[in-house]
Structure 1
Amino acid sequence: MSFKQRFTLLLATITAGLTFAVGTYRPQSILASSKPVTIYLTRHGETTANVMMRVQGWSDFPLTKNGVKVADNLGRGLKHTDFKAAYAGNLTRQTVTAQEVLRYSGNKKVHVTQNKDLREGGYGSFEGDPIAADNNKIAQVDGYQTGDEFMKKTGKDYWNKLQDAYHKLDVENSQQTKLAAADRAESAKAVQQRMTTELNHIAKTTAKNGGGNVLVVSSGMSINEYLSTMSSKYDGKPLKNAAVTKLIYKHGKLQVTGPIGTLSYVNQGAKMNH
């Protein structure tokens, strides 16, 4: 083969390689991160503390029979949703809700990853108290006479102010307990920060793994406090058990899509169960 022929063959090989590299190769991380992530942020099912109207926070009250039924109906309502991953707080009510939803939605092979940063807001020395017993004392921190007045007058800021009232009184040790500082009531900012950090971590991890749907089960106060920081649609209404708020992660940011705290999936699942 002449020098000219060898040179022509070498040039053709290099050109073909460059065409492949530029035209078809894309790093896997770029491909994965370009796909959307949808988080189904869900409140747990009904608990014994919900029925007894007690402060539960970090305390580990179980689901009632009705709470399991509601979680099952949520699963049925999500029957055609394939979940890439599932996460829950480290409390029984959160983990069991997630497991029931996965089972009845056809995703029972998906493992539930527990993380304490997804648990309910902590109420320290007030844990386990009847809500009615503490209502007025909590309201008076912000200058209100009753719990009802407190909720009505503060509107969408209610849940954050409620969390901060528990925090203020517990730091002052109004309950006269010997709890260590780490076990006392959290501030709203602390709850917001841990929820935001963990949900962003979940979104980024899922995006790197190709995107898809993720089930995340947390609690009413912590979800409310988180949503108050990120959506103009947030109005502070209480979240029902098993209510779902969908979050979309794209362009490096989580945002709410659709209604906040919808029971449409639970209602659909209940109809399917008749």
Structure 2
Amino acid sequence: MTTEVYLVRHGETMFNQLNKVQGWCDSPLTIKGINDLKRTAQALSQVHFDNMYSSDLKRAIDTVHLMKDVNQVSEIGKIKKLPEFREVFFGSFEGDDIADTWEQVSLAAGMLPEKNITKIINQVGIDEFRQATKKADPRHLAENKQELDKRMVRAISVLRDLTIKEQRVLIVSHGDFIKTLAIKYWNRSDGKHDIIFPSNGSVSRGILYNNGQFEIVDYNVDAENI
């Protein structure tokens, strides 16, 4: 049996609004974030889910409970929190200004100073961007490509074990983690280059096969188009 997986990005947070690096650190949902999520929740209100899951970060937990409360056709019990689906970890940069952080990463990648992440990734590639982030981190705690890839594989394996008897599930995760999953598992990605960052409250849909294989079939779909 296959399992249909709805991957929802959490709503906008205070750190999103303030342009601060937000990986494993957390900040509350904004009013805009909650209102955007209500539209997503309403769009999914008539979709039956056998279960709902979330990252173990509070912004994801708050999001999944909003999805659960609005859904009219699912009977969801206690939400299981999965640390494997946390956001990418940015180490010492957590909570710092985004533009200043990317400038340091660009220098570590051998570039001239650059504050725009898209320009950095377009020049050096997503894999080198991950390596440069770890290199630029004074404590070298940020996840590099190998560490993140290992965690993604583990996340899919954990989800497969949990959903072996479930036909459709929803899981709330995070923008960079969902994007990186899509780079690896979406057939419209070449697996090497960057793709558009998913919007807050957007839905990406995947298929998890009983042999453990996973693929993204829809990516970054807004509530109005679900």
TM-score range, shorter chain: 0.7 to 0.9
Structure 1 partner of 2:205: 246
Give ranges in structure 2 of 5+ residues lacking alignment.
Answer: none
Q: Secondary structure at the match of 1:201?
A: helix
Map residues 96-135 of structure 1 onto 2, 5 A cutoff: 96-106=62-72, 107=74, 109-135=76-102
Structure 2 partner of 1:147: 115
CA distance in 2 between counterparts of 1:216 and 1:192 reads: 19
Q: Secondary structure at the match of 2:50?
A: strand
Whether the aligned pair in 2 keeps the contact of 1:61 and 1:93 (CA below 8 Å) is yes
Q: Which has the larger radius of gyration?
A: 1
Structure 1 partner of 2:156: 199
**After alignment, is 233-242 or 195-204 more displaced?**
195-204
Deviation, structure 1 residue 128? 0.6
CA distance in 2 between counterparts of 1:196 and 1:76 reads: 31
Structure 2 partner of 1:21: none
Q: Secondary structure at the match of 2:46?
A: coil
CA distance in 2 between counterparts of 1:243 and 1:232 reads: 19
Structure 2 partner of 1:216: 171
CA distance in 2 between counterparts of 1:104 and 1:224 reads: 26
Whether the aligned pair in 2 keeps the contact of 1:102 and 1:110 (CA below 8 Å) is no
Structure 2 partner of 1:92: 58
Structure 1 residue 162 and structure 2 residue 121: aligned?
no
Q: Secondary structure at the match of 2:63?
A: helix
Deviation, structure 1 residue 137? 1.4
Evaluate the alpha carbon distance shift between residue 46 and residue 92 of structure 1 in structure 2; reply closer, same or farther with a 3 A threshold. same
Q: CA RMSD in A?
A: 2.0
Higher helix share: 1
**Number of equivalenced pairs:** 217
Deviation, structure 1 residue 102? 1.5
Structure 2 partner of 1:256: 216
Give ranges in structure 1 of 5+ residues lacking alignment.
Answer: 1-34, 174-178, 270-274
CA distance in 2 between counterparts of 1:84 and 1:251 reads: 16
Structure 2 partner of 1:6: none
Whether the aligned pair in 1 keeps the contact of 2:187 and 2:215 (CA below 8 Å) is no
Between the two proteins, what is the percent identity of the paired residues? Answer: 24
